[in-house]
C-alpha cells in the first residue's frame, strides 16, 4: 500500500466498517511504523484497489488489524489471497503465527477464517467500542499451509 492508494482504501473502509479507521491512522503506519505491513490487491483491468489489509509484525506474531474488499470485488477471494500473502511474508520473516479479532456477528468473515485454518482461542468482551460487541480472537499457527493458498499468476 502506498499513500496514493489511500483515497480508494478509505472509500472501501467507509463502506465496510461501522467505525472506520481514520486516514491519519493509515498515514502514520505507512510513514513511521516499521512493524506495519499494509498490502493492496489491484483490479487487473483498471488498476484500482480491490482489497487491502493491514498487519503488524511484532515479535513472533502477525496481528491482522484490518482487511476489507471493495463491494464490486467481493466474492473473488481477494481477502483469502491477502491473508495468504501476509502469511508468506510472515513466514519469511520468521514469525510463528497470525492473530486477529473479528466481530461475533460477522459470520462470513468467521467462516472464511476458519476455512483458512484459523481457530477460535478466546473472546474479547466489549472489544468494539462503537457497539460494545465482543470480538472472537482467532489464531492460525500454520503459516505455511495458509501461504500455500496464494495464487501467483505468470505474466
* Amino acid 108: pLDDT: 93
Confidence of residue 155 (pLDDT cuts 50, 70, 90): very low
DSSP 115: H
In a domain, 129, yes or no: yes
Q: Which is the catalytic residue, given 101, 127, 128, 133?
A: 101
Q: Is 113 a catalytic residue?
A: yes
Q: Looking at the predicted structure, is the pLDDT value of residue 153 above 70?
A: no
CATH code, domain carrying 80: 3.40.630.30
Q: Based on the structure, what is the number of domains in the chain?
A: 1
Q: Which is the catalytic residue, given 26, 52, 85, 113?
A: 113
* Amino acid 152: pLDDT: 76
What cell was used for 30? 505507512
In a domain, 15, yes or no: yes
> What are 127-134's contacts with CB under 8 Å, separation 24+?
127/101, 128/19, 128/103, 129/19, 130/18, 130/19, 131/18, 133/103, 133/104, 133/105, 134/103, 134/104
Q: Is 26 a catalytic residue?
A: no
Confidence of residue 20 (pLDDT cuts 50, 70, 90): very high
Please give the residue range of the domain that contains residue 111: 3-147
Confidence of residue 154 (pLDDT cuts 50, 70, 90): low
pTM of the model: 0.93
Amino acid at each position: 500500500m502506498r499513500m496514493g492508494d489511500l483515497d480508494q482504501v478509505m472509500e472501501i473502509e467507509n463502506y465496510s466498517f461501522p467505525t472506520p479507521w481514520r486516514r491519519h491512522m493509515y498515514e502514520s503506519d505507512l510513514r513511521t511504523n516499521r512493524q506495519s505491513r499494509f498490502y493492496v490487491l489491484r483490479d487487473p483491468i483498471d488498476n484500482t484497489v480491490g482489497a487491502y489489509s493491514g498487519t503488524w509484525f511484532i515479535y513472533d506474531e502477525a496481528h491482522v488489524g484490518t482487511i476489507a474488499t471493495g463491494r464490486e470485488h467481493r466474492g473473488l477471494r481477494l481477502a483469502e489471497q491477502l491473508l495468504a500473502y501476509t502469511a508468506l511474508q510472515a513466514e519469511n520473516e520468521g514469525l510463528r503465527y497470525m492473530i486477529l479479532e473479528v466481530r461475533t456477528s460477522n459470520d462470513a468473515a468467521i467462516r472464511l477464517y476458519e476455512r483458512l485454518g484459523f481457530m477460535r482461542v478466546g473472546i474479547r468482551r466489549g472489544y468494539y467500542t462503537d457497539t460494545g460487541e465482543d470480538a472472537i480472537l482467532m489464531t492460525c499457527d500454520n503459516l505455511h499451509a495458509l501461504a500455500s493458498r496464494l495464487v501467483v499468476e505468470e505474466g
